[in-house]
Homo-oligomer: A and B are copies of this chain.
């Protein structure tokens, strides 16, 4: 079905906020097999919104709206869409009841304004909102579908999952299933070129690459009459991708990031980990600790930015620092052994490098990072070059460091 997206909100036109709703819904449409041809942003303006809606329904079957469902007079999406469809707004008891309960629970006084949100276009399906006051709306009329969702992502996303995903699956009469293959250590174009024939050959399942920060994700999506049939379509393609790119794949679970995978491996093997960071300066520890339950595997870490701290906290030798400098394989190795010992941890992961913009040399240009991993009496050190953007060097170093841990303990 030809689909388009209309995001309503002056805050988007002023650049006050980033339109993350557009990306989320675009990705969902791709997953659901809806052909998204246009995304538009308009302000809280009756005439321009009405004109936009008219153009949208002339060229598309499905129009998904976000924003403009609030209680103020600026919020006009529902009113303008209802008028376009020729549907009067009617009072919805349950929406009003939900609203009253929510505002009471929050201790917010209820004004007449609020009940504007309890009016819905006659004959529409009300998408009750469990995370906010504005209900969403689904209208099917004359072969066209309009879906109105609230603007805040925390309300919009669960509402889309709860009501719209099953709705579109039912529309197509097909189940949709997808697997996300996540890779580290290979670039998007290299990964794509290694499976170019798979991407081009397959239409069900489809294979789509997504470039992420220091990672590549491949989504395999199948449509079929049942989940089992979807999996039967996906499995051989997944197997072929694994055969070609297996060494880079750290998970096929869309919900998991590399730190989750490392955490689970550590927990499963009953291991503890510590970090000692120079150029990543705490970010690597931050990633590990961001996994809920991290305290099971992580007790302490070190941010050893100066040479003195590397000696004092980790026992790196003065000779090593003088002879090879802190940005060296030797230093990374001593940091890794020293960190594991100082923290009494089974595994350690350490970084030392030059995030820039200053500090580069011919031998170690900006972006050079040594990553060391200690485990089971062995230390492995690798040298990376991560370009010259300070923030990106550090992000890339964290991702590669976690992947080195994964490969070491797996």
Please list the residues of chain A having a beta carbon within 8 angstroms of any beta carbon in chain B: 12-20, 22-30, 36-43, 45, 48, 52, 55, 208, 210-211, 275, 277, 279-286, 288-290, 292-295, 298-306, 308-309, 312-313, 343, 356-358, 390-391, 394
Contact = CB atoms under 8 A, between A and B. Distances in A.
Contact of A283 (B12, B27, B43, B283): B283
A303 B305 contact: no
Contacts of A52: 38
11 contacts: A13-B26, A14-B27, A15-B26, A18-B23, A37-B48, A282-B285, A283-B286, A290-B391, A292-B358, A300-B313, A302-B303
A28 B15 contact: yes
Contact of A16 (B210, B281, B304): B210
A300 B295 contact: no
B390 A292 contact: yes
A26 B43 contact: no
Contact of A30 (B15, B39, B275): B15
Nearest to A309: B300
A124 to B, nearest CB: 26
A306 to B, nearest CB: 4
A136 to B, nearest CB: 20
A326 to B, nearest CB: 10
List the 4 closest A-B pairs by CB distance, nearest first. A281-B289, A15-B27, A282-B282, A15-B26
A108 to B, nearest CB: 13
B36 A13 contact: yes
Nearest to A3: B13
A394 B282 CA distance: 13
A299 B308 contact: yes
Contacts of A211: 16-17
Contacts of A288: 281
B39 A40 contact: yes
B30 A14 contact: yes
Given A285-B282, A289-B282, A299-B305, A15 B23 contact: yes
A12 B41 contact: no
A215 to B, nearest CB: 13
Nearest to A154: B389
B292 A285 contact: no
Given A39-B40, A208-B14, A298-B305, A293 B23 contact: no
A12 B20 CA distance: 11
A301 B300 CA distance: 11
A303 B304 contact: no
B305 A302 contact: no
Contact of A15 (B24, B45, B295, B356): B24
Nearest to A13: B36
Given A39-B40, A282-B283, A26 B14 contact: yes
B289 A286 contact: no
Residue of A16, A30, A210 with most chain B CB atoms under a 10 A cut-off = A16
Contacts of A45: 37
Given A14-B36, A281-B289, A282-B282, 17 more contacts: A12-B23, A12-B39, A14-B208, A15-B28, A19-B19, A277-B285, A281-B290, A281-B301, A282-B285, A282-B301, A290-B390, A290-B391, A292-B390, A299-B305, A299-B306, A300-B308, A302-B302
Given A38-B42, A304-B300, A306-B300, A394 B15 contact: no
